[in-house]
Amino acid sequence: MTPQGGITPASNQHRYNCSVTLRLYDSKAHALLDFTPIVPGKVGIYVCGPTVQSAPHIGHLRSALAYDQLRRWLTHSGYAVTFVRNVTDIDDKILINAAESAAQGRPEEWWALAYRVELEFTAAYNAIGVLPPTYEPRATASIPEMQAIIARLIERGHAYAADDASGDVYFDTVSWPQYGALTNQKLDDMAPAADSDSRGKKDVRDFALWKGHKAGEPLSAAWHSPWGAGRPGWHIECSAMSTKYLGAQFDIHGGGLDLRFPHHENELAQSHAAGDPFANYWLHNGLVAITGQKMSKSLGNSVFAADLIAAARPVVLRYYLGAAHYRSTLEYHEGALAEAEAAVSRIEGFLERAERRLADTRFAGTEEHAIPDAFREAMDDDLSVPQAIAVIHETVRAGNAALDDEDFAEAASLLGQVLAMTDVLGINPLAPEWSGQNLSGADRALATLVERLVSDRETARKGRDFATADRIRDELGQAGISIEDTPTGAHWSLDG
């Protein structure tokens, strides 16, 4: 495998241009930095994927979508992107959840639980249009690479095997003066590491690299090692998988803000201590708040992916999850999806109207899919998607005005811009990936009623019963539904 290998950009229309200036907020530098890839024209990205212990929730979707937007923008800008997102399929919580299920009369092997939940994550990602990663390694497939890093750390004096015959191996935090560099913390101010008990530790802040097998744990969750049978600690998994697929040094490491400490701090320390340059840029997406409260299991306010997908069209859900800046807190509240539906409907209404009105003109099919400068500038400014979406809606308004004025040349140009921008963000409601989405029961009922009234109005007009036709139009207008009479018939849309 060649480190820094890439996938082909989605379109040959956009070629790599060294003058492109993308600025990203580096969490380690605590500053906006110009992005310069290690290899010109190529980008290697590693994103911490899910620990497959239980069903995905809104936070998982938000994080996956944030890095999908980054990947899509880099690809549009001409970079060949290698995107790696791991699956943590061995972990304390997975073993605990499997044991609890068995105790409740639902026996399930830990690896079966992990795979079942992994499939739930994949289905949720697919539903909202998150592109599949170039590589999606499971932790259990990289045990030899983890053991190799641990051995290097021991050899360099930055890790030690516990002397209590437990089989545990720990990172020696005191041995690494740079520990705390990512989160700008001093060792003396850090709390004890909570990823393992303190048996055999030299310092309570030392974290586990290898966990010796304990009585009561399934033998299937233990691997042979120079230190005894056991399994990897959480942090070493990502150091091994990222460098296995991207090389000892790669461009971008991403993940949720909740992973900065201790997970990413420990990744950085152990990788540097083992001699790997590791990631050049560190990105972290914001978390999700439920009506002002941070989402957490303890508060019982988790919003699960399955419920979200059932509550809105997937393209609407993608729009909502990606509309806030990736570093900000995403607020979920009653009515949030309805607001997103209205916004998507405005875009959808313009696209359908423009294609319909241009169909019988010489401008049909002439639109150039060009990205406006304002959109490009927003995306290059640390993926300022809110500003980029504002450009989309401004262009939609201008496009509708051009159609009202029957300026079809301008309308075609603006149609192409809207298509290009929404395609980049993956929110073009007319794109093939969103076709066949079922309307909700309420939407189907509304569509049936409105189409019946529109048909009644058309019948009245043909019979020159203009009073009835006008009354139907006025009643629909009062309900927020617009009627547009065209040479191909009447078409209705929701006002937004």
List pLDDT tens digits, range 291-345. Answer: 766 666 655 668 899 999 999 999 999 999 999 999 999 999 989 999 999 999 9
pLDDT at site 299 = 58
Q: Which CATH superfamily is domain 23-285 in?
A: HUPs (3.40.50.620)
Question: In this model, does residue 383 exceed pLDDT 70?
Answer: yes
For residue 272, which phi and psi values (nearest 5 degrees)?
-65, -40
Say if CB 273 and CB 171 are below 8 A apart.
yes
CB-CB contact of 23 with 377 (8 Å): no
> Looking at per-residue confidence, does 461 or 377 come out higher?
377
| Helix-then-strand count for the chain, H and E | 14, 15
φ and ψ of 418, to 5 deg: -65, -40
Q: What mean pLDDT, rounded, does the chain reach?
A: 89
Range with the poorest average pLDDT among 237-246, 278-287, 293-302: 293-302
pLDDT of residue 2: 36
Q: Which residues contact 465 (CB under 8 A, 6 or more apart)?
A: none
What number is the average pLDDT over the span 139-144?
97
Percent of the chain surpassing pLDDT 90: 72
Which tokens belong to 5?
Answer: 């290998």
Q: Where residue 20 falls among pLDDT bands split at 50, 70, 90?
A: low
What is the model's pLDDT at position 366?
82
Angle at 335 between CA 334 and CA 336, to 5 degrees: 95
Q: Which amino acid is at 332?
A: Y
CA-CA-CA-CA torsion for 317, 322, 327, 331, nearest 10 degrees?
-40
More confident residue, 134 or 460: 134
Instruction: Supply the pTM of this predicted model.
Output: 0.85
Residue 252 has pLDDT above 90, yes or no: yes
- Rounded Cα–Cα distance for residues 203 and 196 (Å): 12
pLDDT for the residue numbered 437:
55
CA distance 3 to 248: 8
Instruction: Write out pLDDT tens, residues 253-269.
Output: 999 999 999 999 999 99
Long-range contacts of 176-181 (CB under 8 A, 24+ apart): 176/269, 176/272, 176/273, 178/269, 178/272, 179/265, 179/269, 180/265, 181/28, 181/265, 181/268, 181/269
Looking at this protein, which amino acid is placed at residue 291?
Answer: T
Domain boundaries, the chain: 23-285, 438-496
Nearest 5°: CA angle at 359, between 355 and 360?
155
| Residue-wise pLDDT tens digits, 25-42 | 999 999 999 999 999 999
Q: For the purposes of burial, counting CB atoms within 10 Å of the CB of 467, is it exposed (0-12), middle (13-18) or buried (19 or more)?
A: exposed
**Nearest alpha-carbon partner for 1 in 226, 243, 174:** 243
Of the candidate ranges 4-8, 101-105, 302-306, 443-447, the one whose mean pLDDT is the lowest: 4-8
DSSP string, 423-456: HHHT--TTSGGGTTPPPPHHHHHHHHHHHHHHHH
Measured between alpha carbons, how far is 450 from 338 in angstroms, rounded to an integer? 19
What does the pLDDT look like over 356-379, one tens digit per residue?
999 988 988 888 899 999 999 999
CA distance 101 to 78: 48
What pLDDT does 481 receive? 81
Cβ-based neighbours of 195, under 8 Å, separated by 6 or more: 92, 207, 208, 233, 234, 235, 262
Which of 383, 324, 253 has the alpha carbon at shortest distance from 58? 324
- Please provide the size of the chain in residues: 496
Of 336, 317, 344, nearest in space to 62 by CA: 317
Structure confidence at residue 174 as a pLDDT band (50, 70, 90): very high
